[in-house]
Chain A
Amino acid sequence: MRLEQPEQTVTFTFDGRKLKGVPGEPVAAALMANGIKLVARSFKYHRPRGVMSAGSEEQNALVTVGRGAQTEPNLRATTLEVSEGLEVFSQNAWPSLRYDMLAINDLFSRFLAAGFYYKTFMWPRSFWEKVYEPVIRRAAGLGALSGETNPDDYEKAFAFCDVLVIGAGPAGLMAALTAGRAGADVILADEDTAMGGRLLREREEIDGKPATAWVAAAIQELANLKNVRMMTRTTVTGAYDQGTYAALERIAGDRAAGKPLECFWRIVAKRAILTAGALERPIAFPNNDRPGIMMASAVRAYVNRWGVAPGKSVAVFGNNDDAHRTAQDLQAAGIKVAALIDSRDDTDITSDFPIYTGAQVVATKGRHALESVTIAYNGGRRVIRTDCLAMSGGWNPTVHLTCHMNGRPTWNTDIASFVPSAENVPGMVTAGACNGTFSTADCLAEGAAVAADVAKDLGFKSRVKVPQAEDRTYAISPLWAVPGKGRQWIDFQNDVHVKDIKLAAQENFRSVEHMKRYTTQGMAPDQGKSSNVVALAVLADATGRGIPETGTTTFRPPYVPVSIAAMGAGSQGKGFAPERFTTSHKASVGRDAPMIEAGLWYRPSYFPQKDEATWREACDREVGYVRNAVGVCDVSTLGKIDIQGPDAATLLDFVYTNTFSTLKVGKVRYGLMLREDGHVLDDGTTARLGEQHFVMTTTTAAAGLVMRHLEFVLQALRPDLDANVISVTEQWAQFAVAGPKARALLNTVLDQELTDEAWPFMACGEANVGGVPGRLFRISFSGEHAYEVAVPSRYGESLFRMLVAQAEVMGGGPYGMEALNVLRIEKGFITHAEIHGRTTAFDIGMGRMVSQKKDCIGHAAAARPGLIGEGRQQLVGLRAKGPDHPLTAGAHLFEKDADATRVNSQGYTTSVCYSPTLDTQLALAFLENGRARHGEVIKLRDHLRDVTETVVVCDPVFFDPTGGRARG
């Protein structure tokens, strides 16, 4: 029921029923205005539940919004805003909210008590996965995801400030005003749709005006301060190291308008002021979970802020003075107060509604909505007819963020709750209700005072000016649970009641952390916001300890549930990782080459032709180009590191196993690099362009790794060396031109004549292409007469097209990764398939490349026993029986007649291919004592793909073992 007619309404639906609501108000308020009390079914027992709170701490009223891929489950009706066309659905009920078949769980509740998981379903073992778990999972739950890809947009963002103020109630507003006026860069964040916190919900005066008027003026002043940013709908969800805070912003506005739904913020603040307020806690009396039983402060919020009456005749039950306000506010709004029930014997309130002191609610009635409560009063019982009960067990300061970095809250007897300890999050201070300071006057004063201190620390001058406000004292007499017939609920979201906690204590789960796991109290989205202190009190009582000795569980981030979609915003699809394209990318794609990932790079797999049915046909053809004519391949993705300085050669001698100081200018040498633990890090060629100038190439995969390694050696191990390294991978486009006609092809594009005398094998130097200064290296990764030609990247595409066009004239063409792989396997050249991090120079047959004349990285460790010798698995070639016997990578190797079991495994394959050159299937492999076993017939077995083959062990260089083709 609405107290006043709203100016504007929109239509939304709840379970398909069309309802009117005020745009921007919480769905909970709109449902209440429409007389709807039953809004959800509970997690475990499917008990009928209604709205309980008026904030993000809501435990009962979880709903689903939207349909299909845009389904968003488990949203709180208390923070979800009404908008035109919004579709809201109840969840965890079948076939309908009103007639939920699964409510049968409630009848079996005796068997579903705390810990039932661990006891009831232990036997037979196989039944757990197949029967019990699926059934339980279906019956107990919350809203469901659609299972479809989420099409909605989410964002993430970063912000920096001097002072982050968390929560914009009286203390927060005052803190922001004080720090803002002083000139500090302030962010004020509040999870509500409007700033003001509690002041928007109470009937109060500040400086003689209604509190809401003071709030409006404060917001106006803050808006005029250029150094203050205000963020509404933004919940600070976690406190992290060095002043980093996470925050979730719900973006205002229509989801259909194409705006992102949420933004996940990382806010870095020099200082933070926590003014997060307090949460009211329930009292565990019998059947305290019926729809219509709400928190007393929430009743005030719906009446005062949203103009909605939660009931026609409302009873109030509390153990503290604050509950009295609810009765008074209801009366002021013209709503009948059925009774004020105060558990304390002496209270000084007088009024014309019935007041029962020293009374307790001991029973409630009403299946889908509250009908009456029974109170124990004056030695007897009395039934009070009411459709809404406002309860207040007192206030819990919202200490959560102060605990995110191991802070432990302190028990405060005066307010019967925990308050933050002085040492909690470095750089954060607390003020107001979250500090246990409850009167508005005190909150305003404390907010101003801490902000003035913070501003001063940061070097700003501030003046403290605090307005006049109410200064009521808050008196409370603890009341946790009321015994009686019927379950006394503590954690409404997880369906945990007093008996569950007593059972935990009885079964010796006496530690608060054990009790939590045993009962599930305080788990899941709620994180014990409302239930924690009551649960601790009951546990303390059951174990005969005080609450401070019982302690509290750890509050962990996030403070409210954060969708993975928000945290991972921007990382779906193309956003997952950057893409690196070579200069020939367009040309390759233009030839329909399937592009494959190589790290972040994309490289052509092969270049298909019309008459080819399979990739193998294309690959075989491209291998033929290189072996018989000429092929062109973009090799720009290989890492290129420019090394200069007087000590450049000394650096190379130290990082490579072999010697580079003896390399002549104009020559290239193959180098092998170890990790300090003696295993191979990477390999590649390094060219000496000048006395003090080298260019190192790395494998594509290890480019970043090697760069980091070189910087480490230069800065952390040998800062005495005068040398500098820089990555030039992006600056140069480089193409392999390989095959018997390679020189002829290059002579059509180079500015000067290329001769064998001037450019012998492993020569390098400058070479111009069409007037563009480039570089030429006579190196080969195919075993053929080959070159790599490099030009500045901006000329790459043009050179690639030119080289390919000339190659095609000569009976060749471009080749891709598949052909490149076949060519190198035929020659026994290794890649990271072989140097995978567990192989040594000895294993790959390069033990002699570790120079004994000098120290180098990995030198000492490579000589360790166990890293050399016969027991090592060594690089070998494997030849299949013929072209129709394909081998698989990752297959294990066994003696010919041995059983293919794990203990008999002697090695494994790393790279395989069909060799069109040799017309058979080949593999590179590691085999125990393999170099001594050339010629032996062994068994290859791939258990995963069910392949068994007989293969012959041979030298890994299958083709042209003397290397004459590359030199010729």
Chain B
Amino acid sequence: MRITCPNCGERDRREFYYQGDALALDRPSQDAGLSVWDDYLHNRGNPAGDTKDLWFHEAGCGAWLVVDRNTVTHAVHKAVLAEKVKR
């Protein structure tokens, strides 16, 4: 599997650390309540199809990326810097 890092170009997946669903970007407020925090921490979809998840270019530039990919075809559509998504 290969991911195109916006900083480094196309690289082998061995350079990346996989974190999980990109919804981790949307951190609830401190007082959002238990069920919101429960969703944020634990509840994940398991889609057969397109997903957005977080990868860390640990053996590269150190950027956190949001990667759009497909769990069925394994296609990697695009990867963008997490800080750009957030801003």
Contacts and interface: CB of A to CB of B under 8 A. Distances in A.
Contacts of A426: 73, 75
A717 interface: yes
A717 B17 contact: no
B45 interface: no
Nearest to A676: B41
B34 A859 contact: no
7 contacts: A242-B74, A242-B76, A244-B1, A426-B75, A676-B27, A676-B41, A716-B25
B15 to A, nearest CB: 12
Nearest to A719: B83
Interface of B: 1-2, 10, 12, 17, 19, 24-25, 27-32, 34, 37, 40-41, 54, 56, 58, 62-64, 73-76, 81-83, 86-87
Contact of A712 (B2, B12, B56, B75): B56
A243 B63 CA distance: 24
Main secondary structure of the interface of A (DSSP, over half): helix
Nearest to B84: A719
A717 B76 contact: no
Interface residues of A, number: 25
Contacts of A730: none
A715 B83 contact: yes
A855 interface: yes
B1 to A, nearest CB: 4
Interface centre among A242, A244, A714 (most CB of B within 10 A): A242
B64 A712 contact: yes
Contacts of A860: 28, 30-32, 37
Interface string A702-733: 00100010011011110100000000000000
A677 B41 contact: yes
Contacts of B58: 704, 708
A717 B27 contact: yes
Given A241-B2, A244-B1, A855 B83 contact: no
A864 B19 CA distance: 24
Contact of B82 (A240, A241, A715, A864): A715
A712 B1 contact: no
Interface centre among B37, B40, B76 (most CB of A within 10 A): B37
Interface centre among A704, A716, A859 (most CB of B within 10 A): A716
Main secondary structure of the interface of B (DSSP, over half): mixed
A708 B41 CA distance: 18
A719 B86 contact: yes
Interface string A570-587: 000000000000000000
Contacts of A855: 29-30
Given A240-B1, A716-B82, A405 B74 contact: yes
B64 A716 contact: yes
A861 interface: yes
A268 interface: yes
Contacts of A712: 19, 54, 56, 64
A712 B86 CA distance: 12
A479 B48 CA distance: 42
Given A716-B24, A860-B28, A860-B32, A241 B81 contact: no
A848 B86 CA distance: 32
Nearest to A678: B41
A242 B2 contact: yes
Nearest to A856: B30
Nearest to B63: A715
Contacts of B1: 240-242, 244
Contacts of A864: 34, 37
A711 B30 CA distance: 21
Given A240-B1, A241-B2, A719-B86, 6 more contacts: A241-B74, A426-B75, A715-B64, A855-B29, A860-B30, A864-B37
A268 B31 CA distance: 49
B37 A861 contact: yes
A302 B31 CA distance: 79
B86 A716 contact: yes
A711 B37 contact: no
Interface string A449-479: 0000000000000000000000000000000
Interface string A238-268: 0011111000000000000000000000101
A704 B62 CA distance: 12
Nearest to A712: B64
